Amino acid sequence: MRILELISSVNPAGGGPVEGLKQTAAVAVRRGVTVEVATLDDPTAPWVRDFPLPLHAFGPARLKYSYAPRLLPWLRAHAQDYDAVVVHGLWQYHGFAARQALHRTSTPYYVFPHGMLDPWFKRTYPLKHLKKWMYWPWADYRVLRDAQAVLFTTEEERLLARQSFWLYRCREAVIGYGTAAPTGDAAQQREAFCAAFPALRDTRNLLFLSRLHPKKGCDTLLAAFARIVHRDPQLRLVMAGPDQVGWQRTLVAQAQALGIAERVTWTGMLTGDLKWGAYRAADAFVLPSHQENFGVVVAEALACGVPVLTSDKVNTWREVQAARAGLVADDSSAGTAQLFDKWLALSEPERLSMRLAAVAAFREHFEIESFATRLYGLLRAKNGAPSATLEAV
């Protein structure tokens, strides 16, 4: 079986979709599936050169739409080389090109929206939503309508996707998502992180690890932390992640205005042992997002036995809450402060129980092997998943 994964960029700063693609493909390759990736990146980009899978780069792309004119003729010429094509994300040229090249051919394509149909974007960025409406009927609506299936990570994502555009038609399939448990020595990873950030060695660290982006609730997190920081002199907030939209300067100024600058550490993007070490050195993982489709970082935290403090706008909150692997509140600063209050009120045995529950929740819901089985089983079926797992709307 030969699969083409189509994504706008494999830059690791892109977050969960890129990491998820790499990890799922690694499982598939171990099972004898051939996986290749096509991207709109510049072929000279360092993340293209170092990518671990066979990669076709058709950039540099033009404009924010990431138009890459070489992609469409290549897809048309090579469509028959693949048993299926998986399109990751919406609103950029690669999805439109996939539909143009593959519609009415024997090569089916599938779309992973990765939360990009969530109505939060419509409410938060109404002008951008209006702009999308101008080309929705001619582009992404048809991309979804003509896909073999549109793949959702949770039931909540599937239901929310129906609320963004009244013109909406596709075959839906909820197949979950997953990530791999960390490899390597946990103690060494923790030591690597503490050596890089020695001020965090003997402190109680609350870890945020994600992109610094308004939808992640970083400003909400700082405000909530300021409300409880006086409760324990050992508390530290670790803000780990790339500053994709130039927001960090504003957030640093907010921390200074709140009087908590000395209790907040900004690490930048972490990878490899430093990333896993940040989890290992954390008392709890905090993600108060206003919108989060899946949150690979939530699954990674659970895999490391780190309790998750999250908002009810993160689509995996139900699994976290049901497993008693963390705490859930609304996505306001008061809600996030409530998470901290409840966390600080727990006894040590209760926190230990939550750590054990975190690992169990990861294995039950988010382990990469079971997700890969579902995904590639669906792709291998050629005509889609069994009817019980597909719903046409």
Average pLDDT of span 253-272:
97
For residue range 186-217, what is the model confidence (pLDDT) as tens digits?
A: 999 999 999 999 999 999 999 999 999 999 99
- Between CA 288 and CA 311 the distance in angstroms is 5
176, 137 Cβ separation under 8 angstroms: no
Q: For domain 2-179+368-392, which architecture applies?
A: 3-Layer(aba) Sandwich (3.40)
pLDDT exceeds cutoff 90 at 93: yes
222, 251 Cβ separation under 8 angstroms: yes
For residue range 9-55, what is the model confidence (pLDDT) as tens digits?
A: 999 877 778 888 998 999 999 999 999 999 999 999 999 998 999 99
Same fold yes or no, 2-179+368-392 and 186-366: yes
292, 208 Cβ separation under 8 angstroms: no
For residue 391, the model assigns a pLDDT of 59
For residue range 243-252, what is the model confidence (pLDDT) as tens digits?
A: 988 999 999 9
Three-class DSSP category at 224: helix
H helices within the chain, ranges in order? 16-30, 46-49, 71-78, 93-102, 119-124, 126-135, 140-145, 155-161, 186-196, 218-228, 248-258, 272-280, 296-303, 317-323, 333-345, 348-361, 368-380
- Between CA 104 and CA 9 the distance in angstroms is 26
- Give, in order, the Cα–Cα distances in Å from 309 to each of 14, 33, 41, 204, 335: 23, 37, 35, 15, 10
Q: Which of 60-64, 199-203, 280-284 has the lowest mean pLDDT?
A: 60-64
**CA 191 from centre of chain:** 26
Single-letter residue type at 16: G
- Give, in order, the Cα–Cα distances in Å from 19 to each of 192, 250, 323: 22, 28, 25
- Between CA 70 and CA 230 the distance in angstroms is 57
- Give, in order, the Cα–Cα distances in Å from 339 to each of 173, 314, 318, 383: 33, 14, 15, 45
331, 217 Cβ separation under 8 angstroms: yes
Tokens of 80: 């028959």
pLDDT exceeds cutoff 70 at 385: no
pLDDT band at 180 (very low <50, low <70, confident <90, very high): confident
- The dihedral over CA atoms of 379, 380, 385, 386, expressed in degrees to the nearest 10, equals 180
Backbone angles phi, psi at 84, to 5 degrees: -165, 155
Q: Is the C-alpha dihedral spanning 69, 71, 72, 77 positive or negative?
A: positive
**Domain limits of the chain?**
2-179+368-392, 186-366
Helix, strand, coil percent values for the chain (each to nearest 5): 50, 20, 35
For residue range 300-311, what is the model confidence (pLDDT) as tens digits?
A: 999 999 999 999
The strand pair at 308-311 and 235-240 is best described as unpaired
CATH of domain 186-366: 3.40.50.2000
Tokens 């300021």, located at residue: 226
